[in-house]
Amino acid sequence: MFVARLLAEDANSGTKKAKIDIRPMLGFSDEDKIETIQPHDDALVVTLRIGGYDVKRVLVDQGSGAEIMYPDLFKGLNLRFKDLTAYNSPLVSFDGKTVIPKGQFKLPIQTSPKVIEVDFIMVDAYSLYKAIVAKP
């Protein structure tokens, strides 16, 4: 989905000008709900640019308090265990099991034209996803 803005009048000269400002935006409209059952609780799984690579199967979890990375992505990004800093708090997985993190590290994520640094916690556990990112 793209957002387009039309500026019809130039404030300085009073002349009419057409200018279109197009920015990418992640959003959904009522048309996107067609053929879906509402209310829904489907997972939002996206592709994000993490560490300079397009990473598929990233779960956006509104209830998560941390960004998690799983071994497949950790290895795929050529990260090393010596790059990790200590993270000593245990985590609770979706199935209620306690998981001990291997450590944490920072990586850039691009979700729009803006790039932000995110602290990922690396866990040695199986997941269908490559990573989980929190959405406040």
DSSP the chain: -EEEEEEEE-TTT--EEEEEEEEE-----GGGGTTS-SS----EEEEEEETTEEEEEEEEETT-SSEEE-HHHHHHTT--GGG-B-----EE-TTS-EE---EEEEEEEESSS-EEEEEEEE-----SSSEEEE--
25 lies in some domain: no
Q: What is the pLDDT of residues 25-82, one digit of tens each?
A: 556 677 877 777 777 677 788 888 999 899 999 988 877 778 999 999 999 999 999 8
Average pLDDT over all residues of the chain = 78
pLDDT attached to residue 26? 57
pLDDT attached to residue 84? 93
42 lies in some domain: yes
Reported pTM = 0.68
Counting the structural domains of the chain, the total is: 1
* CATH number of the domain to which 52 belongs: 2.40.70.10
4 lies in some domain: no
Average pLDDT score over residue span 5-30: 53
